[in-house]
């Protein structure tokens, strides 16, 4: 359906699909599964963040309640939060400003 969609539309659709595939029968994602998705599907963004206090806070919160569930909106907020603190995002910004 999105073959002719923009790159942003495709990226969002991919995030929704990954969430949907990992979500439980009620359409919610366990926090433990969200952590696993971060570490497997979002690796380029989380790599090198182990010592970042904000990243540790996010992971700690996920670890405290591994069985708690989050909806798609909370999952997207999690992804955006991790992306904003990532080294990869800084690298992308640096490439854009040097062009």
Query: How many domains does the chain fold into?
Result: 1
Assigned domain for 1 exists: no
Assigned domain for 73 exists: yes
Range of the domain at 59: 7-98
Q: Which CATH number fits the domain that encloses residue 48? A: 1.10.238.10
- Mean pLDDT, rounded, for 65-79: 94
pLDDT in tens, 36-70: 999 999 998 898 888 999 999 999 999 998 889 99
Assigned domain for 60 exists: yes
Q: Is the pTM of this model over 0.85?
A: no
Q: According to DSSP H, which parts of the chain are helical? A: 7-22, 31-41, 43-46, 53-64, 72-85, 87-98
Strand 69-70 with 29-30, pairing: antiparallel
pLDDT for the residue 74: 96
pLDDT in tens, 14-33: 999 999 999 999 999 999 99
């Amino acid at each position: 359906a999105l073959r002719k969609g923009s790159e942003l539309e495709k990226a969002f659709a991919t995030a929704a699909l990954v969430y949907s595939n990992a979500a439980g029968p009620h359409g919610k994602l366990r926090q433990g599964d969200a952590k696993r998705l971060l570490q497997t599907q979002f690796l380029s963004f989380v790599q090198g963040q182990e010592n970042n206090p904000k990243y540790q806070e996010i992971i700690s919160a996920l670890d405290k309640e591994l069985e708690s569930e989050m909806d798609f909106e909370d999952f997207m907020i999690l992804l955006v939060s991790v992306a904003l603190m990532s080294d990869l995002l800084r690298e992308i910004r640096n490439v854009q400003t040097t062009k």
